[in-house]
Structure 1
């Protein structure tokens, strides 16, 4: 059996990935304002998909190599399993076994469109009597599937 050798990464490698993600997000979505704090990329902005009645203030927190944690800051949306939202107001957007998130996965290509889709399904949920019409994963909304918003590997 081969022993795995861990090669230490150069200091600052996380900043390189975070800055790259930041530039791509700001290039494609001018409504998001991003900053890097303690090895976490944080982007805040207002999203109002076409035909939706409300604008939603969202926070995206990205830790290198992890799926971003996305939170609805406004309006106050009551968390619940039916709407794919964790108790901390973060969204369940992705079923981890369907796609492995790495430092090379581009946040702007997945997370922002998934947030927009979630908002559309949420507004449909509000008008159709509490029926969630979006895709559902076989298991979601557990502590194990919850995304992180801080860099634990420092």
Structure 2
């Protein structure tokens, strides 16, 4: 394990050891910026769980969020509750249908995890690019090919 990986793991362990405080802070920040989102801390799942309706260009999307330092690889799992959205490698979804909003190695600043409130605006961007992809067959947003 290299020094950067060790530091990253140290940050994750700190967040895990102080899980309730860390999640409370994430909840506070998100609620200050996004009144459409309802969040609660799930002690048994050690996660911040959220749900809300996001209006993008006059269309409503139900958003489901799970955010936890115990999630593997990245803290966030953000979903659009829409049975019509199917996995396709061109539309930036993980196999579990959670949104791929950033590259966990390239877009994340070293020694800093991305706060939930920083990610939430990216959901709207993802939706806009998804709607364009349905129309044109090409992902028009910035991307790093997987």
TM-score by length of 1: 0.72
Contact 1:64–1:102 (CA under 8 A) maintained in structure 2: no
Contact 1:62–1:68 (CA under 8 A) maintained in structure 2: yes
Q: Provide runs of 4+ in structure 1 moved above 3 Å.
A: 100-105
Alignment of 1:31-46 (within 5 A): 31-37=36-42, 38-46=45-53
Q: Distance in 2 between matches of 1:102 and 1:67?
A: 14
Alignment of 1:27-66 (within 5 A): 27-37=32-42, 38-49=45-56, 52-64=57-69, 66=74
Q: Distance in 1 between matches of 2:122 and 2:131?
A: 14
Q: Distance in 1 between matches of 2:111 and 2:35?
A: 24
Gaps of 5+ in 1: 140-154
Gaps of 5+ in 2: 1-5
Correspondence for 1:143: none
Correspondence for 2:28: 23
RMSD: 2.6
Q: Distance in 2 between matches of 1:132 and 1:53?
A: 21
1:113-134, CA deviations, whole angstroms, 9 ceiling, x for partnerless residues?
Answer: 1111100101111222x11111
Contact 1:48–1:55 (CA under 8 A) maintained in structure 2: yes
Greater RCO (Cα-Cα under 8 Å, separation 6 or more): 1
Q: Aligned pairs, how many?
A: 129
Correspondence for 1:146: none
